[in-house]
């Protein structure tokens, strides 16, 4: 072998002394560190440009405020290099040892949203009527409770007519920043709409009667009522995912689909971590697509969030209704090879993670009610 082979990017030579008494004409032993391109991958840079958003329950008296945070990450084209140590005698390689890999950033091709998670340990304040009020510090899930009536009584004022600003004070002694506004008139309208939807859904669910006195037997509704129940609950879940009233009517809705015992036991099932890893990859590719921030936070943080699982389940029901998921007689089903949208793919992957070993049974129950 003569010369340096093409493709090597670096060649560092260090001479080694040879023992005395080597015959004349002996070739000196040298060592070299060489690198060879192996493959190219896409990598993401460190999070930067952190921003915050807020989600407020549509209740007038006591509201749960949930703070989320997310950042931007550079998308980079990275060349992977295999590093070797070669020992040579003249131009001949006599020993070659793999040392590992090195990454070399070739270019930055853009940026995406990343590091979506809960805004924990943030001091939350509200500014209204020229006064500032402290609501408290967010918990690990980014939540803080606001008791509006009690809060404004301390300032001898009623509920403000105009919008109020929500401020946070991030960690590391950063200055306070406004992350959103809240209109109490809008809260009143949302609450009225929420109660209307809950009442309508409750009337439909009251018509469901199990065929047998068995917790494993789903309630029976007409196809039209089943579809209307889905539409109502999907709207409820969209406008008030964290409201306790949503959770209460949600329990009844899911009893329509499958037994309560199955829903309550989901924490004990074995999680599908491969599906969670796939969901994280899908979320990265989607960037800032129209996915609820609480779903982004749950996926990115790798936690099982009841609201996120509910969102995923409702999208899966929609996929069953549109026959994107094919239901097979006898309880089987076939998901599509390619999903029609990134949201549907993400929903399926998170559902697989959350449902765990109960996945097939749950989808079969959905097919029974909604196909």
pLDDT tens sequence across 178-229: 999 998 888 888 889 999 999 999 999 988 755 444 444 445 678 888 899 9
Cβ atoms of residues 36 and 7 within 8 Å: yes
The predicted model gives 12-19 an average pLDDT of 43
Residue 24 scores a pLDDT above 80: no
The residues near 174 (Cβ < 8 Å, ≥ 6 apart) are none
The share of the chain scoring above pLDDT 70, in percent, equals: 84
pLDDT score recorded for residue 16: 42
Which tens digit of pLDDT belongs to each residue from 318-365?
Answer: 999 999 999 988 778 999 999 999 999 999 999 999 988 888 888 988
Which tens digit of pLDDT belongs to each residue from 164-179?
Answer: 999 998 876 678 899 9
Rounded Cα distance between 89 and 62, Å, is 80
Residue 21 scores a pLDDT above 70: no
The residues near 309 (Cβ < 8 Å, ≥ 6 apart) are 266, 350, 351, 354, 355
Residue 120 scores a pLDDT above 50: yes
* Nearest of 45, 50, 98 to residue 76 by alpha carbon: 45
Tally of CB atoms within 10 A around 76: 18
Which H or E element spans position 109? strand 92-118
> In this structure, is the dihedral angle defined by the CA atoms of residues 137, 140, 144 and 145, taken in order, positive or negative?
negative
pLDDT score recorded for residue 289: 66
Which tens digit of pLDDT belongs to each residue from 77-106?
Answer: 999 999 999 898 888 888 989 998 899 999
């Amino acid at each position: 072998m003569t010369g340096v082979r093409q493709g090597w990017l670096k060649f560092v030579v260090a001479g080694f002394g040879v023992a005395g008494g080597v015959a004349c004409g002996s070739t000196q032993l040298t060592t070299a560190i060489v690198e060879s391109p192996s493959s190219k991958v896409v990598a993401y840079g460190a999070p930067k440009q952190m921003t915050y958003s807020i989600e407020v329950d549509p209740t007038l008296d006591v509201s749960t405020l949930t703070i989320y945070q997310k950042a931007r990450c550079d998308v980079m084209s990275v060349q992977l290099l295999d590093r070797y140590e070669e020992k040579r005698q003249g131009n001949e390689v006599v020993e070659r040892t793999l040392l590992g890999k090195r990454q070399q950033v070739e270019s930055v091709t853009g940026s995406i949203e990343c590091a979506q998670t809960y805004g924990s340990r943030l001091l939350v304040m509200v500014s209204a009527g020229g006064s500032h009020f402290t609501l408290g510090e967010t918990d690990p899930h980014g939540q803080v409770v606001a008791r509006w009536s009690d809060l404004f009584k301390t300032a001898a004022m009623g509920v403000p007519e105009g919008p109020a600003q929500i401020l946070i004070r991030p960690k590391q002694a950063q200055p306070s920043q406004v992350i959103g506004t809240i209109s109490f008139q809008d809260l009143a309208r949302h609450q009225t709409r929420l109660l209307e939807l809950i009442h309508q859904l409750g009337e439909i669910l009251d018509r469901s009667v199990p065929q047998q006195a068995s917790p494993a037997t789903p309630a029976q509704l007409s196809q039209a009522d089943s579809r209307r129940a889905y539409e109502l609950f999907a709207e409820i879940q969209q406008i008030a995912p964290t409201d306790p009233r949503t959770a209460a009517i949600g329990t009844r809705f899911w009893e329509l689909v499958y037994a309560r015992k199955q829903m309550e036991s989901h924490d004990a099932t074995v999680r599908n971590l491969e599906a969670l890893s796939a969901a994280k990859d899908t979320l990265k590719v989607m960037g800032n697509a129209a996915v609820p921030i609480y779903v982004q936070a749950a996926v990115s943080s790798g936690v099982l969030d009841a609201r996120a699982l509910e969102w995923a389940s409702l999208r899966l029901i929609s996929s069953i209704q549109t026959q994107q998921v094919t239901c097979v007689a006898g309880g089987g089903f076939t998901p599509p090879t390619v999903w029609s949208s990134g949201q549907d793919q993400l929903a399926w992957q998170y559902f697989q993670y959350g449902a765990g070993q109960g996945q097939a049974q749950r989808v079969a129950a959905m097919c029974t009610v909604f196909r």
